[in-house]
Copies of this chain bind each other. A is one copy, B any other.
């Protein structure tokens, strides 16, 4: 359906993109024409109509109403997830002071919407190799969906004392274990009455290679 653009049409689209990037708002037809070296308004509008017909932009009959279909898309999908430096018992995870930076992730990927009522996500940097057999390495970032409970075999972030730890949540009959995925590390056994504070479930793993 989305037909190919001609070379000139592509140049027009690039010019619009550049304009928005520079100014923060779309160009008028005259401004666009000046930038492209087209002296007549009709020349520009016919380009715009052609590009719109192919689905790469939308227009309304109003001032500066060009909107790029593909430029808007990442805006809708993009979600800023705070990277939390330290988690303290008794304090909300997203205490502003502990937010070190933000990570832009694909909202659709982690099952998030940008609606304010949607479940909150945060990111943690993993320290140590305790989950190495699950493919989570030292230095990886994990994206966590905040929730107070977990299903068996979920990988969760739990608060043990004053430290957040990433482990697999295993239910063995009545017994709950926080199982490291590491050949030599021992599971942490939790008695049913003293359940650990589950901060959330790991829904994605991000790794940056040098």
Residue numbers of A with Cβ under 8 A of B are 14, 21, 23-26, 28, 58, 63-68, 70-80, 102-107, 109-110, 114, 116, 132, 135-137, 140, 155, 201-209
Contact = CB atoms under 8 A, between A and B. Distances in A.
A76 B24 CA distance: 11
Given A24-B58, A135-B137, A202-B209, 9 more contacts: A21-B76, A26-B64, A77-B104, A104-B104, A104-B105, A105-B105, A135-B140, A204-B207, A204-B208
A74 B67 contact: no
13 contacts: A21-B76, A24-B67, A24-B68, A24-B71, A25-B25, A25-B26, A25-B64, A25-B67, A74-B80, A109-B206, A110-B208, A132-B135, A135-B135
Contacts of A71: 24
Contacts of A23: 65, 67
Contacts of A58: 24
Copies of this protein chain in the complex: 2
Interface centre among A21, A114, A205, A209 (most CB of B within 10 A): A209
Tell me the dominant secondary structure on chain A's binding face: mixed
A106 to B, nearest CB: 4
A68 B206 CA distance: 28
A104 B67 CA distance: 19
Contacts of A28: 63
A208 B137 CA distance: 15
A112 B202 CA distance: 26
Which has the most chain B C-beta neighbours within 10 Å: A58, A116, A206? A206
